[in-house]
Structure 1
Amino acid sequence: MVLVNFARESIVDPDAIAAALDKGQLKTYVCDFPEPIFYGREDVIAMPHIGASTAEAEENCAIMAAEQIMDFLENGNIKNSVNFPAAAMPRVEGQRIVFTNENVPKVLGSVLSVLADHNVNVLDMMNKSRGDLAYNILDVEKMADDKVIAAIQNIEHVTTVRLIA
């Protein structure tokens, strides 16, 4: 017999479980609240408890989601996305350009050429991809004008461009 307990630690008596295991009345005990009495036992499968349904966990998840959305809006950083690659880069002086593109050759080079043609110096950059999608973060010293953003948007395979001041 296997006993699976993913409720709360206090729902079972750890000493009674250990005794049942010792006597062979219980073959395996599976839990996510491992008590010290179960440490090192081959007949106990102790998994970490994530506490995802507690009020504290839900509040923490809501705060985390809000912070990640703010980081995306303010810095263009992406964390924990389902369909975008993780991409986070500390900000440096200047402005930030973020853009997405189809993950094909020559797009990043074309964007860098546009910046060079407009005398825009790149201070830092990141390029990440996931499948057919690429996401880019470029910190630049200064922007010439809105023509730079329009020129990047007009590059073949670029799907979105955003300037973050």
Structure 2
Amino acid sequence: MTTAEKPRDPKQQMGVFTELAEVSEEYRFRQYSQAYSGRHVWDEFVTAQRENHDASEWYCETARKAGRYWKEHMESRGRHHALATPEDAEQWCADLLETRKKTTVYREYWVKVLRFYSWLQYHTEHPHVYHPILMAAAEYPKTSELWDFKIARSRTNSSE
């Protein structure tokens, strides 16, 4: 017997807000840019993964690598790495998919950023009431391609 599958539609995993247009101005991430200035949230995330989930050193190292690429991308777009828009996610995915295999992008980069934003949502010290990576997966082609890859992998793995 297999465990119940998670919903295939990313909107079913987002919570209240499924599109950025639904998010009122007071909850938009750009409102928090000063509060996040100089804060190393990605490092907090990796530390929490290590301490709370007994993540392997390999996982932490790949998470740090993904974080470096994500932070560089977000810096080039003029935003803190914890304050992305769905468009930021889509462009990052498109750029990575141009130079790397889909499996590599998924395993070593995308899934880490997906987890990062999920982690932010579940910690009350962060104002993350929406998930820009899931929003991008529901709206844009390259992020959606990675989402579909995730769903296909989970279906394959659950049937083993």
> One fold, TM greater than 0.5?
no
Instruction: Point out the structure with max Rg over C-alpha.
Output: 1
Q: TM-score, normalised by structure 1?
A: 0.24
Q: TM-score, normalised by structure 2?
A: 0.24
